[in-house]
Amino acid sequence: FARNVNSNNMVAWEGDNFRYLVSKHEKRWKNGENYWLAANPNEAEEIIDSEWGINGAWFLPDDNQAIPATVKRTVRQWSGSRADEDYLIVEYTVTNFLRRDPLNGVYLMFSWALSPNHRGWRLTNPNLTDGARNTIGKWQPDEWLISTYAGDYTSSPGIDETFDPYDFVTYDPVNDRNVITNEFVAPGFVGIKFLEIPADTNGVSKINGFAWSTGAPSQDSGPFENVLGLDDKYDAMADPSLLTRAFTNDSDPQMGDGRLYANFSLGPFNIPRRDSIKIVLAEFVGGVPFEKTRGNQLSVAEIKAAGDSAVQYLSDRVSFNYENNYRVPMPPPAPDFSVTPVTVAGELGNIIRFSNAPELVPDPHQGVADLAGYRIYRSSFLPFGPWEQIAEIPKGDPQFFNSDSQAYGFTDDNVALGFGYYYAVTSFDTGHDAWAINPAVAVPPLESSIFANRSKTSFQTTLSPSQSDISNVQVVPNPFYRSSGFSEPGRERDIQFVFLPQRCTIRILTVRGDLVKTIRHDNPNSGVAVWNQISDFGQYVKSGMYFYVIENDNGDVERGKFAIVN
């Protein structure tokens, strides 16, 4: 398909160069109006509507490759709830737009290239082509469900790649040693579940046929690679076992030895003129949280058990969602928050502040405000984790709540100078004995998603600037030896100048007196300046001894030296 969309999200592409065109692809709520179900409690928080079909300018009446049909796709997600953030529900509506004739003998094929382990494959097999070959799949026909995970690559005997274990080596400058941290970099399980299939020509709603297939190791061209001609393609869509390198047994030797595809055949359908059929399916990802994958906390068997449990939970959850017409219980909304440094001289800490506004928002289904408290999470590594909970604050707790400002404040003082931290604040309730939508359903305690409001850039822990005194300025680490010790990727070379005034100029020179770098520090909130060892000429500096000259607004000058060993 080809499209050219202007600023109003309308298709502007015309002509006969493309058989199909996308006529619509847009968010239903363009500015997040339905977050926390604020606009429509009977719909998903996020909906993306798409439509595509044959290009009328290209259409030829006798061309049997051009199907006279349009497709509407509606993708729904509930991104604000930890209970429902890990899946999408996708609805396809296929319409026969012919005015007189039916479309008979229609087969639909859904084919997924499955890779729950792209990052893991690239790390553990850097010399092989993209497209992870160690994906293992499980087909559960009674539930219309498949699930996949990163298993053992069968072409590398003697090495178990299950969940893609990888050793990350970092340098600890405090203890002058390398630290090896093991991580299972592909612990997730990917699943697909069909929720609604229309009746076929025999009046039966079913998956007509299913087959796995694998791509060729050298050049993967997909399941139809050697399926030539329209008749052969039609036959393969009716019977997926005719696809290239197809197999139907989960224990087939091809499993775990090539990029894996899942191929579903639906049909045959007879679609009357101006009529439609609808297919609904869910796509999901689950497994152990990131923080459990590092440092050999869990065994392969434990990760596998957790993944299987997540697949079952998500399978049940998407069914529950669909059976209740795209309605699920929702947690209270998460608050917006800010992070600022502690401003008391000599003290180190990050202050997280947020208002009590979510406490005034009624549950979209229950009709009453039910927020019970807040949880604060922190990651010192990446914006997606690993997360650790650092506080739980009950609603209205006087230790943290200021009744005058109607806001909460929490000081995270377990931080290190110069380190960057990502934060998230969630809201939680205590559940309900009966759900207003379906009183037979009890609602468990729910919590908002960490990713609903987590910070996307790290907050660098800093010290308040001194008044103007520069006599206490220090360089850390000094000497710099191989690594700064910062855990965030990309900060391995950072050197800090601390105890600075609000404004000053730092000049870094070689032992010969050549000017390497000039840093103009001007920050009313920070007495720390960071240098990444890149000179004013855009090059990394070499190992050696360096001198610094710091001058404040009063003309006072402080000199010192530091060493770099890379």
Indicate if 433 and 522 belong to the same structural domain.
no
Question: What are the CA-CA distances from residue 115 to residues 135, 191, 293, 314, 382 (Å)?
Answer: 7, 11, 18, 18, 22
- Does the pLDDT value for residue 130 go beyond 90? no
Would 364 be classed as within a structural domain?
Answer: yes
Burial-class residue 452 by CB neighbours within 10 Å (0-12, 13-18, 19+): buried
Report phi then psi at 23, rounded to 5. -100, -15
Please state, in angstroms and rounded to a whole number, the distance separating the CA atoms of residues 150 and 263: 19
What are the tens digits of pLDDT across the range 233-255?
999 999 999 999 999 999 999 99
**299 and 377 part of one domain:** no
Q: What band does 522 get if pLDDT is binned at 50, 70 and 90?
A: very high
Contact 473, 466 (CB under 8 A): no
User: What integer pLDDT is reported at residue 1 of this predicted model?
Assistant: 30
Write out the two tokens for 286. Answer: 């689950």
- Domain of residue 367, residue span: 337-460
pLDDT band at 127 (very low <50, low <70, confident <90, very high): confident
Same-domain check for residues 395 and 425? yes
Q: Which helix (H) or strand (E) holds 139?
A: strand 135-140
Beta-strand relationship, 135-140 and 87-96: unpaired
Residues in the chain: 566
Query: Contact 213/263 with Cβ under 8 angstroms?
Result: yes
Asked whether residue 442 falls in the same domain as residue 482, the answer is no
User: pLDDT at residue 454 above 50?
Assistant: yes
Q: Cα separation of 435 and 365, whole Å?
A: 8
258 and 400 fall within a common domain: no
pLDDT of residue 410 exceeding 90:
yes
Q: Is 323 helix (H, G, I), strand (E, B) or coil?
A: helix
Listed residues 460, 485, 511: the one ending a domain: 460
Question: What are the φ and ψ backbone dihedral angles of 11, each rounded to 5 degrees?
Answer: -70, 130
144 with 292, same domain: the answer is: yes
Could you tell me if 176 and 213 lie in one domain? yes
The answer to whether residue 56 is domain-embedded is no
Average pLDDT estimate for 502-519: 96
Q: How far apart are CA 162 and CA 222, in angstroms?
A: 24
Instruction: Tell whether 431 is covered by a domain.
Output: yes
Q: Domain containing 372 — which CATH number?
A: 2.60.40
Q: Is residue 23 part of a domain?
A: no
pLDDT at 229: 87
Q: Quick one: pLDDT band at residue 158, thresholds 50, 70, 90?
A: confident
Instruction: Give tens-digit pLDDT for 86-120.
Output: 999 999 999 999 889 999 999 999 999 998 988 88
The last residue of one of the domains, among 430, 460, 490, is 460
- Strands 246-247 and 209-214 come out as antiparallel
Residue ranges with strand state E in 215-372? 246-247, 260-271, 276-286, 337-341, 350-355
Are 244 and 287 a contacting pair, CB within 8 Å? no
Q: Which pLDDT score is estimated for 218?
A: 79
CB 193 within 8 A of CB 502: no
Residues 302 and 341 in one domain: no
Taking 60 as the threshold, does the pLDDT of residue 10 lie above it? no
Q: Kindly report whether the peptide bond that precedes residue 477 is cis, defined as omega within 30 degrees of 0.
A: yes
**With bands split at pLDDT 50, 70 and 90, how would you rate the model's confidence at 465?**
confident
CB-CB contact of 322 with 195 (8 Å)? yes
* Banded pLDDT at 208 (limits 50, 70, 90): very high
Q: Which of 425, 321, 401, 357 minimizes the C-alpha distance to 38?
A: 357
State the CATH number of the domain containing residue 506: 2.60.40.1930
Same domain, 389 and 502: no
- Quick check: 261 pLDDT over 80? yes
Q: How far is CA 159 from CA 130, 250, 487, in A?
A: 19, 21, 29
CB 328 within 8 A of CB 319: no
Inter-residue contact 226 to 232 (CB < 8 Å): no
What is the chain's mean pLDDT, rounded? 91
- Predicted confidence at residue 12, as pLDDT, reads 42
Residue 480, φ and ψ in degrees, nearest 5:
-80, 120
Separation of alpha carbons 283 and 88, rounded Å: 5
Rounded Cα gap, residues 374 and 442, in angstroms: 22
Residues 106 and 200: beta-carbon distance below 8 Å? no
pLDDT in tens, 277-332: 999 999 999 999 999 998 889 999 999 999 999 999 999 999 999 999 999 999 99
Is the peptide bond preceding residue 268 cis, with omega within 30 degrees of 0? yes
Token digits of residue 257: 């030895």
Structure tokens at 173: 């400058």
How many other CB atoms are there within 10 angstroms of residue 23's CB atom? 17
The C-alpha atoms of residue 550 and residue 566 are separated, in whole angstroms, by: 24
Give pLDDT tens digits for 331-343.
999 999 999 999 8
What pLDDT is recorded for position 172?
63
Is 469 inside any structural domain?
A: no
Cβ-count burial 260-290 (b if 16+ within 10 Å, e if not): bbbbbbbbbbebeeeebbebbbbbbbbbbeb
* pLDDT tier at 64, thresholds 50, 70, 90: low
My answer on whether 456 and 478 are in the same domain is no
Asked whether residue 431 falls in the same domain as residue 533, the answer is no
**In one letter, which amino acid is 232?**
D
**What pTM value is reported for the model?**
0.87
* pLDDT at residue 296, rounded to an integer: 86
Q: Which pair of tokens denotes residue 4?
A: 């050219």
Residue after which a domain boundary falls, among 426, 460, 494: 460
**514 close to 536: Cβ distance less than 8 angstroms:** no
Kindly list the distances between the CA atom of residue 397 and the CA atoms of 56, 107, 408, in Å, as whole numbers in the listed order: 64, 60, 9
Q: Nearest to residue 470, comparing CAs of 560, 370, 362?
A: 560
Say yes or no: 358 and 425 in one domain: yes
Average pLDDT over residues 547-563: 95
Q: How many domains does the structure of the chain reveal?
A: 3
